[in-house]
Amino acid sequence: MQLGFHSVTAEHTDVAVDVEGQIPSWLEGTLIRNGPGRFDTAGGTVNHWFDGLAMLRAYRFADGTLRYTNRLLRTEASAAADRGQLTGQFATDGGTLSRLLRPLQLLRGAAGTDNTNVHVAAIDGTLIALTETDTRIAVDPTTLQVRGHFRFDDAIREDLTTAHLAVDDTTGESFGLATTFAPRPRYQILRVGADGRRRTTLATIDARGPAYIHDLAVSASAVILIETPLQLSARAALSPLSDGPIDMLRWRPDAGARIHRIDRSTGSHTTHAIAPTFCFHIMAAADTTEGHVVDAVTFEDGQIVEALRLDRLRTAGFPEGPTGQLTRYHITDDGVRTTRLSDAGVAFPRVAPGDPAVGYAQATDPSDATGVCRIDRTDGATTSWHRSGRYCEEPVPVGGPDGTTVVLVPTLDVDAGCTRLRICDGDTLEAHAVATLPVAEPFGFHGRWFPTGTFGPARSSHA
Question: Which of the four pLDDT bands, split at 50, 70 and 90, describes residue 463?
Answer: very low
Query: 417: alpha, beta or left, given left = phi > 0 and alpha = psi -120 to 50?
Result: left
Alpha-helix residue ranges (DSSP H) falling in 252-409: 303-307, 310-315
pLDDT at 64: 95
| Number of structural domains in the chain | 1
Helix, strand or coil, per DSSP, at residue 305: helix
Asked whether residue 458 is domain-assigned, the answer is no
Residue 305: CA atoms inside 13 Å, Cβ hemisphere, count?
Answer: 22
pLDDT per residue over 434-457, tens digit each?
A: 999 999 999 999 999 999 999 976
Asked whether residue 461 is domain-assigned, the answer is no
**E strand or H helix at 237, and its extent?**
helix 234-237
pLDDT at 59: 98
- In sequence order, the 6+-apart residues with CB closer than 8 A to the CB of 308 are 48, 49, 50, 321
Residue 328: CA atoms inside 13 Å, Cβ hemisphere, count?
Answer: 19
Average pLDDT over the chain, rounded to whole?
Answer: 91
pLDDT at 183: 80
Helix, strand or coil, per DSSP, at residue 160: strand
Q: To 10 degrees, the CA torsion angle through 459, 157, 294, 218? A: -40
Asked whether residue 147 is domain-assigned, the answer is yes
* pLDDT at 101 exceeding the cut of 50: no
DSSP code string of 8-41: P---EEEEE--EEE---TT--EEEEE--EEE-EE
CATH of the domain at 60: 2.130.10.10
pLDDT per residue over 130-166, tens digit each?
A: 999 999 999 999 999 999 999 999 999 999 999 999 9
pTM to 2 decimal places: 0.94
Distance of CA 21 to the CA centre of its chain: 30
Asked whether residue 457 is domain-assigned, the answer is no
**E strand or H helix at 236, and its extent?**
helix 234-237
Burial readout 63-89 (b: 16 or more C-beta within 10 A, e: otherwise): eeebbbbbbbbebebbebbeeebbbbb
pLDDT per residue over 168-215, tens digit each?
A: 999 999 999 999 987 889 999 999 999 999 999 999 999 999 999 999
Question: Which of the four pLDDT bands, split at 50, 70 and 90, describes residue 315?
Answer: confident
CA angle at 93 for the pair 116 and 95, rounded to the nearest 5°: 120
In sign, the C-alpha dihedral spanning 193, 110, 228, 258 is negative
Distance of CA 127 to the CA centre of its chain: 15
Asked whether residue 309 is domain-assigned, the answer is yes
Q: State the DSSP code for 230.
A: E
DSSP code string of 349-379: EEE-TT-TTEEEEEE---SS-BEEEEEETTT
Asked whether residue 167 is domain-assigned, the answer is yes
**E strand or H helix at 235, and its extent?**
helix 234-237
| Cα(77)–Cα(35) distance, integer angstroms | 14
Alpha-helix residue ranges (DSSP H) falling in 57-205: 76-82, 96-108
pLDDT per residue over 373-432, tens digit each?
A: 999 999 999 999 999 999 999 999 999 998 899 999 999 999 999 999 999 999 999 999
pLDDT per residue over 35-45, tens digit each?
A: 999 999 999 99
Q: State the DSSP code for 439.
A: S
Q: State the DSSP code for 6.
A: P
Asked whether residue 207 is domain-assigned, the answer is yes
Q: Within a 10 A sphere around the Cβ of 448, how many other Cβ atoms?
A: 18
The mean-pLDDT minimum among 230-244, 246-260, 373-387 falls in 230-244
Domain that holds residue 261: 2-451
Asked whether residue 459 is domain-assigned, the answer is no
